[in-house]
Structure 1
Amino acid sequence: MKLGVFMVLFSGKPFEEALDYVAAKGLDAVEIGTGGWPGNAHCKPEELLADEGKLKAFKKAVESRGLTISSLSCHGNPLHPQKQIAKEYHDTFIQTVELAQRLEVPVVTTFSGCPGDHEDAKYPNWPVAPWPNDFQDVLKWQWEEKVIPYWTETGKFASDRGIKIALELHGGFSVHTPATLLRLREAAGEVIGANLDPSHMWWQGIDPVQAVQILGRAGAIHHFHAKDTTIDPINVNRYGLTDMQSYANMLDRAWQFRSVGFGHDLKTWADIISALRLVGYDYVVSIEHEDGLMSVDEGFSKAVQNLQQVLIREPLGEMWWV
């Protein structure tokens, strides 16, 4: 396995300065935002696709520092019911796939998106309860009319270019659990896989080790984010796991994102890493920092230190004891 970082947290630094900082920490890979919610501070697909010189310079900047690009990321909602919003996210995704092909990056990371509840809706609708039955009707319509058709067509576009799509399992979107990922993968093909982030498993009540097992047995993990979550044992009883308070209201929230090792101990993270090795995932573990109690530098540095203790880097040798 290789250790990487989602570069969006260094958006305030010039690209090459950020790469120098990452390389100095001993990392192997970078995940780079190309638009959507991560922004495109370090990578503007339209510019790079139009200028071969800029494209080569961009690739050289990464490779000359001994780094690789694990994924291009353009998290957005291409299923948004407002067509102009959906189109902007879709166009960014298409450009990102084309850029990934040119840069020989095997994975594009995004969200599945979430449609509205009917054709003329204005806002996404995320059904999370089976009753009243209206929610079942909404869910059926979303998957049959929007989710499956879109990702079947878009998945073919990516597959034809040798690119895998890693959908981050995230609340608020149609694909948010191992089961919903596998449902879409069965319909749209193996080009669809997970960008598995344990932090989003914990707050949904899912054991990340079991999520790795479920998805890994199907060969459905295309990328991996390393981020932690802590659940407040008192606040969760007041607000529940679907707490709608701002992430900034950390004292009262039911749960919050933390740097690796500050929500769960390193034994838990060692179990996650071991499960990844067990199911054959030997790609990048990409640090994502969204810890409201730590600065970017401190939160990132502590995540690096903790993961370096549990990451399994070397190829598995012969079992001499068997």
Structure 2
Amino acid sequence: MTASADHLKALLSAHAARDDDRFYGVAMQVAAKSARQGHGKLAAELRELIDAARAQKIPRLAPTPVVQPRGELANLLTAGYPETRLGDMTLAPEVHTLLDKVLHEQRQRGRLERFGFTPVHRLLLSGPPGTGKSMTAAALAKELGLPLFTIRLDGLISRFMGETASKLRTIFEAAAETRAVYLFDEFDALGADRAAGNDVGEARRILNSFLLFLDQAPPESLVVAATNHRQLLDRALFRRFDLAILYGAPSTQQAIEVLRRRLSEMDTSAVRWLELGVCTEKLSHAELVKAAESAAKRAILGGDDVIDQQHLTDALDERHALRHA
């Protein structure tokens, strides 16, 4: 055996400690031992692999276990460690496929970058309110074991607009230093069309700064922009993001799945799900969750854990009424 037990233990120890220099040093010892044992071809291949890995070494950024960002970042970001997983969400198949692509490329980031490619790391999520855009950012963070940093627009967009570009730089510098998911929610407040009639020169400069920083965003972190108003965004933004994912109201089947998921702890055996299809039309995921919770609370406060058809029908009707209030 070329590598001794001591070599194997040393390699594992160095890997666990993320000590690359020590790892490669032990690997070179294995190559030298191979040469002494007459395995010249293997020794040469090992040295080539080690030299290539050292030359193309990709810095590994780990999530920093901070409760809240400090310093200037404290006014710009809020930190969270979500528990929502992608499997907990009810999404259109095409959306789910794209998000699986993001996760797969991020998990294979090192392999891609060894060949000169970068994984998907800049996402634009758009669609009506309550369709799961912000929750998607949380789920991606959970799946990748990263913190979720949500950009506070009230801290970012200063009344002294010249400060905003400087604050943007601070955020993107943080993305280069700390691997995380960075969420720009309500992004249209920052990325509105530069050609809009009510635009001012400083707003254009802010957007230009964002485009520049986005181009330079490190692939280790995910930058996610979410908006309810896709039509307001400057067209140049769509070319800068790696993926633009469109969210919509759930189909009847998806709406029923949302209700079922939220009521999984209740007895729903009396519910005729297919008959609820008409009542769920045009309601968002968030509205359906609210309706399910309202029905559940009505049953619980009535002294029962059984959801009947009327509970759900009334709750869904209430959500429709609120839409038209």
Q: Larger helix proportion, structure 1 or 2?
A: 2
More strand by share: 1
TM-score of the pair, normalised by structure 1: 0.29
Whichever of the two has the greater Rg, that structure is 2
